[in-house]
């Protein structure tokens, strides 16, 4: 009986798994710790619409973003420690009502709503709008609890002895959300390693090509050094890398100055070569049901079979 209730009222969860390939420049012992760091996960959450979700009142199913009948536009984002459910009923093409303290308050679409202390917003019509839709519930999740949820449900482990491939998995109620989170996680992790456009010096001397090559190396090295310095507070394991790269910059700068010999002709801004992504997703996602779902399914089958098995054993005992 308990298994039946669980299966009916608990959403099915999925395990989304993919493989991550490490760049040779990474320290394997630091990568998993960095991927699972709460600082990185918070950045991912901030860049995805994970705190705000919409549900149909009648079916209790989450509504996809591309078919939302209405949409909340926040001029003051909900506080991190806030959570709420707001019920909205569409009146007609111009108005809607919000249920608050058992009272429906009417508003016009595109009207600023500021009676909530934790957020300010206006409601607009979405791509799936019509005047006869069923009530919609907006759910605002607590940001701190959301971070803890993703931290708990994200797993990263090495595959093989060479520590070059990581299996990354996430337990989620939504396949689309799970895939989006994993894609964004890889993207955000790689962001600090993208080198911006920087000035490059060209010189009017006979050995111009070596000067340009060393100038390019210096440009990329300095960009990496700046990136490592910005990440130092988040990833303490980069201290050794910062020391090494600074020493290397000094030697390259001396070599560059000797070649340049103060014969600079002009300075131009060109696109520097970006460094390769330090981690890259390899292959497609693998989707499996969570193990708990199978356990309770097995329990359900046993529960259905018991009414048939028990009378059989009673009959055997009586014989």
- pLDDT at residue 268, rounded to an integer: 45
- Which range is least confidently modeled, 78-87, 156-165, 194-203, 269-278? 194-203
Q: Is residue 306 part of a domain?
A: no
Domain assignment present for 265: yes
Residue 305 lies in a domain: no
Segment 120-125 long-range contacts (CB within 8 Å, at least 24 positions apart): 120/74, 120/75, 120/76, 121/72, 121/73, 121/74, 121/75, 121/76, 122/72, 122/73, 122/75, 123/70, 123/71, 123/72, 123/73, 123/88, 123/96, 124/70, 124/71, 124/73, 125/69, 125/70, 125/71
In angstroms, the CA 84 to CA 60 distance is 16
pLDDT at position 206 is: 41
Q: Is residue 292 assigned to a domain? A: yes
pLDDT at 150 over 90: yes
The residue among 140, 157, 179 that closes a domain is 140
Does residue 87 register a pLDDT over 90?
Answer: yes
Residue 314 has pLDDT above 80, yes or no: no
The answer to whether 289 and 11 are in contact (CB under 8 A) is no
Is 307 part of any domain? Answer: no
Q: Is residue 219 part of a domain?
A: yes
Same-domain status, 119 and 258: no
The residue-averaged pLDDT of 37-55 equals 90
Q: What is the mean pLDDT of residues 17-46?
A: 83
In a domain, 312, yes or no: no
Q: What residue spans of the chain are helical by DSSP H?
A: 2-9, 28-35, 38-47, 143-153, 175-190, 208-231, 239-260, 291-318
Q: Average pLDDT of 164-176?
A: 86
pLDDT bin (cut points 50, 70, 90) of residue 79 is: confident
Q: What is the CA radius of gyration of the chain?
A: 29
Average pLDDT, the chain: 76
Looking from the CA of 41 toward its CB, the CA atoms found within 13 Å total 21
Q: What is the mean pLDDT of residues 63-67?
A: 86
Within this chain, do residues 121 and 59 fall inside the same structural domain, yes or no?
yes
180 and 280 share one domain: yes
Q: Are residues 190 and 204 in the same domain?
A: no
Same domain as 228, residue 160: no
Q: Let me know whether 32 and 152 are in one domain.
A: yes
pLDDT band at 178 (very low <50, low <70, confident <90, very high): confident
Residues 26, 192: Cα–Cα separation, whole Å: 13
Could you tell me if 210 and 68 lie in one domain?
Answer: no
The reply to whether 25 and 157 lie within a common domain is yes
Instruction: Mean pLDDT check: name the lowest of 129-138, 160-169, 181-190, 254-263.
Output: 254-263
More confident residue, 56 or 258: 56
As a whole number, mean pLDDT of residues 150-167 equals 88
Q: Are residues 39 and 179 located together in one domain of the fold?
A: yes
- Confidence label for 288 from pLDDT (cuts 50, 70 and 90): confident
- 280 shares a domain with 166: yes
Per-residue pLDDT reduced to its tens digit, 236-285: 666 777 777 777 778 777 777 776 665 444 444 444 444 456 667 666 77
Number of domains in the chain: 3
Domain stop point among 254, 270, 286: 270
Q: Which of the four pLDDT bands, split at 50, 70 and 90, describes residue 199?
A: very low
Q: Does 181 lie in the same domain as 205?
A: no
Please tell me whether residues 205 and 246 are part of one structural domain. yes
How many percent of the chain have pLDDT more than 90?
23
Domain that holds residue 261: 196-270
Average pLDDT over residues 281-310: 64
């Amino acid at each position: 009986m308990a298994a039946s209730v669980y299966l009916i009222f608990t959403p099915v969860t999925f395990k989304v798994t993919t493989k991550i390939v490490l760049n040779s420049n990474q320290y394997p012992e630091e990568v998993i710790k960095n991927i699972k760091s709460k600082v990185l996960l918070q950045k991912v959450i901030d860049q995805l619409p994970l705190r705000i979700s919409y549900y149909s009142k009648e079916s209790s199913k989450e509504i996809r973003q591309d078919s939302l009948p209405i949409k909340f536009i926040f001029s003051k984002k909900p506080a991190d420690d806030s959570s709420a459910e707001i019920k909205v009923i569409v009146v007609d093409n111009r108005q809607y009502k919000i249920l608050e303290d058992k009272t429906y308050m009417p508003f016009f679409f595109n009207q600023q709503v500021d009676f909530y202390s934790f957020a300010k917003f206006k409601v607009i019509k979405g791509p799936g709008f019509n005047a006869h839709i069923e009530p919609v519930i907006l759910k605002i999740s607590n940001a701190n609890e959301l971070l803890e949820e993703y931290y708990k449900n994200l797993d990263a482990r090495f595959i093989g002895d060479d520590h070059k491939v990581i299996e990354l998995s996430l337990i989620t109620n939504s396949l689309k959300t799970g895939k989006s989170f994993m894609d964004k996680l890889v993207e955000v992790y790689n962001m600090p390693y993208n080198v911006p456009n920087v000035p490059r010096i060209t010189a009017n001397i006979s050995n111009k090509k070596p000067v340009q090559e060393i100038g390019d190396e210096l440009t990329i090295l300095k960009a990496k050094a700046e990136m490592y310095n910005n990440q130092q507070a988040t990833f303490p394991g980069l201290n050794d890398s910062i020391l090494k790269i600074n020493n290397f910059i000094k030697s390259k700068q001396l070599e560059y100055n000797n070649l340049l010999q103060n014969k600079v002709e002009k300075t131009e801004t060109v696109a520097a070569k970006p460094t390769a992504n330090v981690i890259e997703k390899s292959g497609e996602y693998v989707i499996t049901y969570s193990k708990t779902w199978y356990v309770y399914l097995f329990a359900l089958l046993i529960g259905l079979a018991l009414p048939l098995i028990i009378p059989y054993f009673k009959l055997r005992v009586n014989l």
